[in-house]
Amino acid sequence: MDKLIIKGGNKLKGDVQVSGSKNAALPIFVSTILAPGKNEIRNVPFLRDINTTIKVLESLGAQVVGNGHIVTIDTAGINSCEATYELVKTMRASVLVLGPLLARFGKARVSLPGGCAIGARPINLHLKGLQALGAEINLEHGYVEAKAKRLKGARINFDISTVGGTEHLMMAAATAKGETILENAAREPEIVDLAQILNQMGARIEGAGTDTVRIQGVTELFPTTYSVMPDRIEAGTFMIAAAITGGDIRISGMKPEHLDALVFKLQDAGVEITSRDNVVRVKAPKKLKSVNIKTRPYPGFPTDMQAQFMALMCLAEGASVISENIFENRYMHVSELLRFGADIVIEGNSATVKGVKKLSGAPVMATDLRASASLILAGLAAAETTEISRIYHLDRGYESIEKKLAALGADIVRVKE
C-alpha cells in the first residue's frame, strides 16, 4: 500500500493542466451501451474508478482499448446483462449500467452498489424512476433485477435533486417510447456533458443544466467521438493549493464558470483570481480571511470541495462556520485535521473552524476521496513532515496529483508503506 510524504512550507508556483472529469467520464462510458459500435472517448483521466468502469463494461462483453487519454469502447458485442457484486461493490457509479442495459436488451441484473463511506446514498430514486418508465423491478439477494419490453416515457419528479438519478434516467429514457420529463433534475455540468454525448449519438434531450429535462425517445443511438469536460473538483483543489501555500499558480484547461460558488468564496477570503483564455491565475493573499460556507446542489457550493475549503480555513484569521447539507457523514477528515493542530468543533451538520497561526506536520490517514485532498493541502502548508496513509482513495479521483504538485514546487513523494 502506498503513502504520501510531504515536507510542507513551499509556496506553489507555475502552471498546471486540469485532467478530464471523473464524474463526467463515468456516465459517458456507461452511455456507450446504448450506441452499439465503436465509441471514441477523449480527455479521459487515468484513475481507479475509470479502470473499474472499464472492467464492468468488459464483463458485459464490450471491447475497450486505451491509447493515452483516448479510450475506444466497442459495445456491439455486449452479451451479458449482469454486473456482479465483485465489480460493483467498489464504486457506486457502476449501478448506472442498469438503465442502459434495460433500455437496450429489455432486462438487466445489477448488484446494489458500494463506494465511499460518506453517508447513505440510496438508489431508490433511480429505481422509482425506472418503474415510472415501465420497468418491473425486483430486489433479491443484493441484486436489482429489472425487466421491460420497451420503456415508455413518463413525467418524473425527483423528491430531492440527484445527480446519479438524473443521469441514469436520461440514459434510460433516451430510447424510450414517447416523451420523458424529469422535474427537480440535478443541474451539474457533468449532466450537461452526458446530454451532449447522448445528443451526438442521436438522442433528443433538452434542458440539461436546468431543473427540467425533456427527452424525446428515439428508436436507436449510434456510436460517436466525444471529449470529456475538465474536472472542476481537481481544478478547485489546485486553486485552494495555491491559496493555502501562499502561492501563485496558473491553471489551464478549466472552466471557471463551473466553480462560481468556490471562486466567490475564495475571493471573499482575500484570494486574487483572474481568468483569461481558459487559464485561471490564483494568487494567495498575505493573510487569509475566514469565510462561512454551506454546501448545496449545483450551482451552490459543491460538497466535493467542502473538505478542501475546511483545510484552508484552518489558517484563516477569525472563525468560519462550514455547514454540510448534502452528506451526513462527511466530516471524517476533521479528526485528522486536528492532528495538524487545527481548531475545529463539530455540532450537528456544522463545523466551526477557528484559524490557527500554523499547522504542524503529522502522520494522518485518508478516509475518503475528498478527505485525502484536504490532508494533502494541510500537509503542503504545515511545518515539517506529513505522512498520509491509505491514499488508495486519492487514486479514485485525482490523476497523478503528487506529480502535478511536485511540478509546482511541492516537496511531495509517493512511497510504499
Cβ density class 202-223: b for 16+ within 10 Å, e for less: bbebeebbeeebbbebbeebeb
List C-alpha distances in Å: 124 to 40, 68, 90, 103, 171: 32, 37, 19, 18, 17
3-state per-residue secondary structure call for 303-317: HHHHHHHHHHHCCCE
Q: In the annotation, is 314 catalytic? A: no
Q: Which residues touch 144 (CB under 8 Å, ≥6 apart)?
A: 95, 98, 108, 109, 110, 111, 112, 123, 127, 137, 138
- Which residues, in sequence order, are bridge partners of residue 182? 156, 213
For 43, the 3-state DSSP assignment is: coil
- What are 196's three cell numbers? 451532449
CB within 8 Å of 153: residues ≥ 6 apart: 133, 173, 176, 177, 178, 179, 180, 215, 217
Q: Are 152 and 179 in contact (CB under 8 A)?
A: no
CA–CA distances in Å: residue 308 to residues 92, 165, 224, 237, 415: 22, 26, 36, 7, 23
Q: Which of 116, 240, 249, 251 is catalytic?
A: 116
Q: Are 24 and 42 in contact (CB under 8 A)?
A: no
Alpha carbons 299 and 302: distance in angstroms, whole number: 8
User: CA 126 to CA 99: how far, in whole Å?
Assistant: 9
The half-sphere exposure of 290 on its side-chain side, counting CA atoms within 13 A, is 15
> C-alpha grid cell for residue 263?
471562486
| Unique residue bearing C-alpha cell 438524473 | 166
Catalytic residue numbers, as ranges: 116
